[in-house]
Amino acid sequence: MPEPLSFCSQQSRQSGIDSIGSAPEHRTYVLIECSPPWAPHDLASLGVPENLRALGHEVYKEYDRFQTQFLLIYNDKLKQDNHTRLIILYKETGLIKEYAKQEFLLADVQEVAPLVKRYLRGEPLLNTPVEHQQPTRDILICTHGSRDRCCSRFGNPLYHQALKIVEERWLNHIRIWQASHIGGHRFAPTAIDFPEARYYGYLDQASLTSVLTRIGSLQALNTVYRGWGILPWAAQMVEKELFLTHGWIWLNCKATAKVIGHNEDETFNQVEVLYETTVGSLYRCRADVIADIEQTVYLRGSCTDEDENEVTPYNVKNLVCD
């Protein structure tokens, strides 16, 4: 039985609009372990102390300065008694392939705000980070139903599928988390793959398995890849073309990108991507990212929206690498 169109993600999926270019670009992510249910505005949730709410308000009010996103995460099997896990991810400059990550186990959730405040101010930290024996991927799946019902309706089943895949395939380097709102209700079910900050939407079991294992045909990802959050939105579209061309080895390359020119309404953009292969070879790619106005559709951004917003797809043209 088809899902009713009252779900914004069903309407968006049926439109055929590509989700690429929709990954947010944040300099810092702050992931805080906190058990659901979460309030519609996550930092207003019952398990979040007042000092953390105040810090979140300050940071979001001055987003241009901090460029920081707070997210609540939870996995009952990973929870350690009498400890709160805090993960901070920071985007460094230059050629990179992932965010720098520090993880802390704190005795009390009240300790989160002071630590994060010192971090954002560039002050020395008084806490010792957790050390892992091998690099760890953290997959965040949005299940924030009080923010948008699509995230609960489609995110919760995907979360449990991800747990099962990780267990059955012995993917011990991957941790699966429920997460509060990560943006893009209409792409539900949505996920972020950290520390790279690659965003995905419209996920199903087949594409989820490809994301987790990084094997098989990339065509399963063609319609679910929202973009690499390290790059500007227009550059994310060019990066997807490079990803599909190079295959899974592309995920081991370092890159940086910029928009070198655009018109006033950004229907035309010139993008430059610089990337470094695993053997140290450098390549520079340039392309035009152009709006396909004739393919514009009108979609709701969330399940509660009564009005529909204009959504225009873009095409990558004239891609040249040297």
How many Cα atoms sit within 13 Å of 291 on the Cβ side? Answer: 14
Pick the more confident residue, 46 or 146.
Answer: 46
Concatenating the DSSP letter of every residue in 10-29 gives HHHHHHT---TT-----SEE
Does the pLDDT value for residue 5 go beyond 60? Answer: no
Contacts of 263 (CB under 8 A, 6+ apart): none
Does the pLDDT value for residue 1 go beyond 60? Answer: no
Strands (E), the chain: 28-33, 68-74, 84-90, 100-106, 137-142, 174-179, 191-194, 198-200, 225-228, 254-262, 268-276, 282-291, 297-299, 309-311, 314-321
E strand or H helix that includes residue 233: helix 233-246
Q: pLDDT of 173-204, one tens digit each? A: 999 999 999 987 678 799 999 999 999 999 99
Does the pLDDT value for residue 230 go beyond 50? Answer: yes
Q: Could you tell me the two tokens for 133?
A: 């024996």
Q: Could you tell me the two tokens for 309?
A: 């917003």
- The reported pLDDT for the residue numbered 3 is 44
- The reported pLDDT for the residue numbered 8 is 58
Pick the more confident residue, 26 or 11.
Answer: 26
Does the pLDDT value for residue 266 go beyond 90? Answer: yes
Domains of the chain: 1-231 (3.40.30.10)
Contacts of 148 (CB under 8 A, 6+ apart): 8, 181, 185, 188, 302, 303, 304
- The reported pLDDT for the residue numbered 251 is 96
When the pLDDT of each residue in the chain is averaged and rounded to a whole number, the result is 91
Share of the chain above pLDDT 70, in %: 92
Report d(CA 118, CA 115) in Å as an integer. Answer: 5
- The reported pLDDT for the residue numbered 2 is 42
- The reported pLDDT for the residue numbered 4 is 43
Longest dimension (CA), the chain: 56
